[in-house]
Every structure is written in C-alpha cells, then in structure tokens.
C-alpha cells in the first residue's frame, strides 16, 4: 500500500509565489502551479486570498436576460408570501389548540378523550345541511 504524501509549504514560499504572480512573472495561476510543481488546484488561490490581491483570482460574472431577473425576483417574493402564510397558519393552529385545551378544561374532560369522541361522531353523523 502506497503512503500518501502531504506537502507543507513555508510562509516564505507561499509569499514568494503570490509575489511572483502580482509582479507579472506568471500571467496565470496555472503557470505558477506548473513552475513550482504545486499539485492542488485551489492551493495558490487560497494563498492569494490570504496574502495577496484578490484581483488575481478569476471572477464569475452571471449574464441573465431581463425576464430571468424578474422571474427570480417574483419567485423570491412568492417564497416570502408563502413563508408568511405558513407562519400565520401555524399561529392559528396554536391558538385553536389552546382554545380546545381551555374548553376541555372548563368542561372537565381530557383533550384526547374529546378528540376520540369527535372523530367517532364525525364519521357516523351527517351534517344538518346534507340530510
């Protein structure tokens, strides 16, 4: 079984690589990686973030059509409304449960006992409108 080799680079070496990139000795991170024999794809990038100027790193630019931007905004608004409705429904359920607890307490019966009676009653009797 082959042992895995881990490389630990000194601070001076890391700074030298970043300085070489900043000075223009290497035009890309890939060229610096190849020159110094650094294996990790993100290794030099993390050094640049730590010691250097972030403008050396690649930027991600997202290009969208105007209707895509509008659609994203509409979807975010829809999510926000649904979250508010869900919160309102949860609050209503908590209130209904509290009212049921209070009513059962006033009547002197247990909530579970009341729920069993009501679930049995609902399945055997039709509402007045349907008779």
Ramachandran sector of residue 8 (left: φ over 0; alpha: ψ -120 to 50; beta: rest) = beta
Residue 14 has a pLDDT of: 92
What's the whole-number mean pLDDT along residues 104-116? 87
Residue 131 has a pLDDT of: 47
Q: Is residue 105 part of a domain?
A: yes
What's the whole-number mean pLDDT along residues 69-92? 92
Rounded-to-10 torsion of CA 35, 41, 42, 45? 40
Q: Is residue 32 part of a domain?
A: yes
Q: Mapping DSSP to helix (H, G, I), strand (E, B) and coil, where does residue 49 land?
A: helix
Whether 49 contacts 34, CB under 8 Å: no
Based on the fold, state whether residues 52 and 99 are members of the same structural domain: no
Structural domain that includes position 23:
11-56
Question: Among 9-13, 49-53, 60-64, which range has the highest average pLDDT?
Answer: 9-13
**Which pTM value belongs to this model?**
0.41
Residue 116 has a pLDDT of: 82
Q: Please state the domain count of the chain.
A: 2
Q: Which residue has the higher pLDDT, 52 or 75?
A: 75
- Running DSSP on this structure, what letter comes out for residue 108? T
Residue 51 has a pLDDT of: 80
| CA-wise closest residue to 19 among 46, 59, 58, 51 | 51
Based on the fold, state whether residues 70 and 119 are members of the same structural domain: yes
| CA-wise closest residue to 95 among 106, 83, 103, 85 | 103
What's the whole-number mean pLDDT along residues 25-42? 89
The C-alpha atoms of residue 62 and residue 96 are separated, in whole angstroms, by 48
Q: Which residue has the higher pLDDT, 30 or 56?
A: 30
Q: Is residue 46 part of a domain?
A: yes
């Amino acid at each position: 079984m082959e042992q895995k080799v881990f490389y630990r680079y000194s601070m001076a070496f890391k700074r030298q690589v970043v300085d070489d990139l900043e000075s223009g000795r290497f035009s890309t991170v890939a060229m610096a990686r190849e020159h110094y024999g650094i294996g990790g794809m993100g290794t030099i990038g993390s050094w640049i973030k730590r010691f250097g100027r972030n403008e050396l790193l690649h930027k991600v630019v997202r290009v969208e059509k105007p209707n895509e931007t509008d659609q994203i905004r509409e979807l975010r608004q829809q999510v926000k409304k649904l979250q508010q409705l869900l919160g309102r429904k949860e609050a209503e359920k908590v209130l209904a449960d509290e009212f049921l607890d209070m009513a059962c307490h006033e009547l002197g019966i247990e909530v579970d006992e009341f729920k069993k009676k009501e679930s049995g009653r609902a399945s055997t009797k039709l509402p007045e409108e349907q008779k």
